[in-house]
């Protein structure tokens, strides 16, 4: 447990942790009870792992790492173990983290051998003079810092590989994983999404990033994001997840944000920083700023997805303009909630 300085304000009554597991076409119509149960259990574990860190006096960065590592180690989420495949049949991972007190940040992109990318992003922030590292260099750095390195085959999952085959056949880039075709969806459970041969991941078109924002007892905010990117992506494509200010941002004066959605739009709109800027320069509340960006600006520009956001008072905002978003929170009174759909 880290001790508070004698002069510091104690935020123990405000500690909060919020997570997301991706957004997209996530509806009850294409979700089985078994799939929903699996996602809820995975998110509940992530919430409590992160919250336990906060409760024991750990920092917001430590809590973000603990929560995201749970999701990176689960094949349910498009991050770490459950990462999707590129066009070449590889798993290329991106992650970032930012700390709200110092505004320090760390990011990695296009790595293929780091088991937990969020830990590598934190190492970049804490143990290097840099903010972003990519590819082999990032992997060499992670190895030097003692992070767990795995063979690329560790990230292989049959369902993600089949999603790549479908995407190749359809000759279009998919975001995270593709639902069965429209006809199959309309036919219902016997021949569509719930057929026995279908895999747990086939719940619809989903923007599969995972993320976490946290507020610790020291009053410090942190945000982290991790992803496997796009199914069938080419040319070393990188989305918003590792881009500070787009997919991740934290500032004690305003908020911490982690985004999930169509990365190109989130980069162009600098979504995470824009929410902070609206709070800082226009005096908006957290929820007003988050909704202005996600429900208005992004929609006008054609961007789909959502964010989780948290301010220093423990206020939460989780807007999304897609059909659904895996999201959840736990507060200092240990009240927690996990949500998936719009209603």
Strands 105-111 and 132-134: parallel
Q: Measured between alpha carbons, how far is 121 from 133 in angstroms, rounded to an integer?
A: 9
Radius of gyration from C-alpha coordinates of the chain: 19
Q: What residues act catalytically?
A: 209
Q: 263, 256, 325, 331: which is closest to 298 by C-alpha?
A: 263
Q: Which long-range contacts (CB under 8 A, 24 or more apart) does 99-102 make?
A: 99/60, 99/61, 99/125, 99/220, 99/221, 99/222, 99/250, 100/60, 100/220, 100/221, 100/222, 100/223, 100/250, 100/251, 100/252, 100/256, 100/312, 101/218, 101/220, 101/221, 101/252
Q: Measured between alpha carbons, how far is 145 from 253 in angstroms, rounded to an integer?
A: 31
- Secondary structure (DSSP) of 122-156: HHHHHHSS-SEEEHHHHHHHHHHTT--B--GGGG-
CA dihedral 272, 86, 26, 71 (to 10 degrees): -70
152 C-beta neighbours (distance < 10 Å), count: 13
Q: 84, 48, 62, 38: which is closest to 233 by C-alpha?
A: 84
The helix (run of H) or strand (run of E) holding residue 69 is helix 60-72
Phi, then psi, of 3 in degrees rounded to 5: -85, 145
Task: Provide the total of helices (H) and of strands (E) in the chain, helices listed first.
Answer: 10, 13
CA dihedral 232, 238, 239, 242 (to 10 degrees): 140
Longest dimension (CA), the chain: 65
């Amino acid at each position: 447990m880290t001790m508070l300085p004698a002069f510091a304000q104690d935020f123990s009554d405000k500690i909060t942790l919020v997570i997301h597991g991706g957004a997209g076409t996530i509806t009850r119509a294409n979700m089985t009870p078994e799939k929903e149960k699996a996602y809820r259990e995975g998110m509940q574990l992530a919430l409590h792992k992160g919250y336990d860190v906060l409760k024991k006096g750990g920092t917001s960065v430590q809590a973000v790492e603990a929560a995201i590592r749970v999701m990176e180690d689960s094949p349910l989420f498009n991050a770490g173990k459950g990462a999707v495949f590129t066009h070449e049949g590889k798993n290329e991972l991106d992650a970032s983290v930012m700390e709200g007190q110092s505004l320090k940040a760390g990011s990695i992109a296009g790595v293929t051998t780091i088991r937990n990318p969020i830990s590598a992003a934190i190492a970049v922030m804490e143990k290097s003079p840099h903010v972003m590292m990519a590819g082999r260099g990032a992997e060499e750095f992670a190895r030097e810092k003692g992070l767990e390195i795995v063979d690329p085959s560790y990230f292989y999952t049959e369902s993600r590989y089949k999603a790549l085959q479908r995407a190749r056949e359809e000759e279009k880039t998919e975001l995270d994983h593709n639902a069965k075709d429209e006809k199959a969806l309309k036919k219902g459970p016997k021949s569509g999404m719930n057929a026995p041969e279908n895999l747990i991941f086939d719940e619809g078109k989903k923007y599969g990033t995972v993320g976490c924002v946290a507020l610790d007892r020291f009053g410090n905010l942190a945000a982290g994001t991790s992803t496997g990117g796009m199914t069938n992506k080419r040319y070393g494509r990188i989305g918003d997840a590792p881009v500070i200010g787009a997919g991740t941002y934290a500032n004690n004066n305003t908020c911490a944000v982690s985004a999930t959605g169509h990365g190109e739009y989130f980069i162009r709109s600098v979504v995470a920083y824009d929410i902070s800027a609206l709070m800082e320069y226009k005096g908006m509340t957290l929820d007003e700023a988050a909704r202005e960006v996600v429900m208005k600006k992004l929609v006008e520009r054609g961007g789909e997805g959502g964010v989780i956001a948290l301010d220093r008072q423990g206020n939460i905002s989780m807007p999304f303009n897609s059909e659904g978003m895996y999201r959840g929170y736990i507060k200092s009174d240990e009240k927690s909630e996990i949500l998936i759909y719009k209603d």
